């Protein structure tokens, strides 16, 4: 199959990195044995990017100077098993880059397996069956010039970070003839994963190449369930929302999340200006093959038409949404989230998280981790040292934890020996 990747190519437990740091008395990392499980922080300082293991992120101060593992800056971290972190670096039109890491014996992060390339690029990603799966769309094939394809890359940390690539048509997944860009990789039981379909009509550009245009179905949402062989097991469809995906440039962020009890909640930010549907939430009950017709949560009524970019499960029925709120200071470049809201999908409560830096100053959020009813999220500010904030779902309040002497914290996570 002869393939070509177009400029229009589009983009779970995701996220998370590690940072290199020398620490204050509360977190002295020098000459110590690693705990069985440690936090990881990824940070940038000057021209360097660093990965660090720390035993505690609720207090103290750390520095990247002379500590940790120095690496390339990675866009995201995915943890396919408790002892492995896979870093992914998005490079626009160039092949993506990747690295594997694990927890070393002396309170440090060490490389695990080979560095690798994702030749096809990637626009969305997530963990699946102890591997990392990345996807990119709008792939053309000379063997079938009337369809667009998606390329799937399975990265296996148990086989030296080998990359297995499969290219498959994602045209007409919904049965209406349109092409589907896939957003998110969310494990659904042990044998399947869920991904949102972002639809688009097929069209020819001025040079005769196949491209995409606005969907004819902006008021519908589709979720596909695929197995390990990429067979489509089910398509979930509903007309109460538009497509379910966060967006930033060419990246597609998952807005599908499971509640820890087998129920899946599908969040639509209402990104499509042609849709008449509000931002909202619908549900797939555990074991069901259709959306729950009796459940709908209108988020537009809660957040006055603001758009969220990211969705994180915190604990049980609580989810955190990362919103872009217009502030008194304009953002430089494309707008990124500067405020967090806590949503209870059962009681349908909504509140802005207190205790975070003021959204008017445009704080920047890194990739978080959830544990014990709390969300641990990196926050970076202009003219301030970045820090980990701990958001308590029970109170809706955030408290400041570990401060890092760096320019920015990009992610936090955990690794086990």
pTM of the model: 0.90
pLDDT for position 327: 87
- Locate 137 and state its tokens: 């769309």
CA dihedral over 306, 307, 312, 313, signed as positive or negative = positive
The 3-class SS string of 243-286 reads: CCCEEECCEEECCEEECCCCCEEEEECCCCCCCCCCCEEEEECC
CATH match for 3-416 among 3.20.20.100, 3.40.50.300, 2.40.30.170, 2.130.10.10: 2.130.10.10
Cα distance between residue 228 and residue 316, in whole Å = 27
Cα distance between residue 324 and residue 50, in whole Å = 28
Query: Within a 10 A sphere around the Cβ of 171, how many other Cβ atoms?
Result: 19
Compute mean pLDDT per 10 residues along the chain, 417 residues long, and list them.
Answer: 37 36 41 88 93 95 85 94 96 91 93 96 96 95 89 97 97 96 95 97 87 96 98 97 94 95 96 96 94 97 92 97 92 91 97 97 96 97 95 97 96 95
The 3-class SS string of 161-199 reads: CEEEEEEEECECCCCCCCEEEEEEEEEECCCEEEEEEEE
Helix (H) / strand (E) containing 4: strand 3-5
pLDDT for position 31: 62
Give me the residue spans of the domains in the chain: 3-416
Beta carbons within 8 Å of 327's beta carbon, 6+ residues apart: 338, 358, 359, 360, 361, 362
């Amino acid at each position: 199959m002869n393939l070509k990747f177009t400029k229009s190519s589009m983009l779970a437990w995701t996220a998370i990195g590690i940072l290199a740091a020398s620490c204050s008395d509360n977190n002295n990392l020098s000459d110590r044995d690693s705990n069985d499980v440690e936090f990881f922080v990824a940070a940038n300082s000057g021209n360097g990017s660093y990965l660090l293991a720390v035993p505690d992120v609720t207090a103290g101060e750390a520095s990247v100077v002379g500590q940790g593992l120095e690496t390339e800056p990675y866009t995201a971290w995915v943890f396919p098993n408790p002892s492995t972190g896979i870093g992914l670096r998005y490079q626009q039109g160039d092949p993506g880059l990747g690295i594997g890491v694990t927890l070393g014996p002396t309170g440090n992060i060490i490389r695990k397996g080979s560095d690798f390339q994702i030749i096809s690029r990637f626009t969305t990603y997530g963990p699946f069956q102890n591997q990392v799966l990345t996807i990119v769309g709008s792939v053309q094939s000379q063997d079938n010039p009337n369809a667009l394809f998606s390329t799937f890359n399975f990265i296996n940390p148990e086989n030296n970070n080998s990359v297995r690539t499969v290219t498959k048509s994602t045209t007409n997944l919904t049965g209406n003839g349109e092409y589907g860009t896939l957003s998110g990789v969310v494990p659904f039981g042990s044998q399947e994963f869920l991904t949102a379909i972002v639809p688009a009509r097929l069209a020819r550009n001025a040079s005769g190449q196949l491209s995409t245009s606005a969907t004819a179905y902006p008021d519908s949402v589709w979720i596909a369930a695929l197995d390990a062989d990429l067979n489509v097991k089910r398509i979930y469809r509903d007309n109460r929302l538009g497509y379910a995906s966060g967006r930033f440039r060419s990246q597609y962020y998952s807005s599908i999340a499971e509640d820890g009890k087998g129920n899946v909640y599908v969040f639509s930010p209402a990104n499509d200006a042609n849709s008449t549907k509000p931002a909202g939430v619908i549900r797939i009950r555990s074991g069901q093959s259709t959306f729950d017709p009796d459940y709908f949560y209108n988020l537009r009524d809660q957040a006055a038409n603001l758009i969220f970019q990211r969705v994180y499960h915190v604990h049980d029925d609580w989810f955190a949404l990362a919103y872009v709120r217009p502030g008194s200071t304009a953002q430089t470049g494309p707008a990124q989230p500067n405020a967090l809201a806590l949503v209870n999908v059962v009681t349908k409560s909504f509140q802005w998280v207190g205790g975070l830096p003021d959204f008017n100053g445009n704080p920047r959020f890194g990739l978080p981790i959830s544990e014990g009813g709390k969300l641990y999220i990196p926050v970076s500010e202009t003219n301030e040292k970045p820090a980990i904030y701990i958001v308590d779902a029970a109170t809706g309040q955030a408290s400041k934890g570990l401060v890092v002497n760096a320019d920015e914290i990009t992610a936090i996570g955990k690794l086990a020996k």
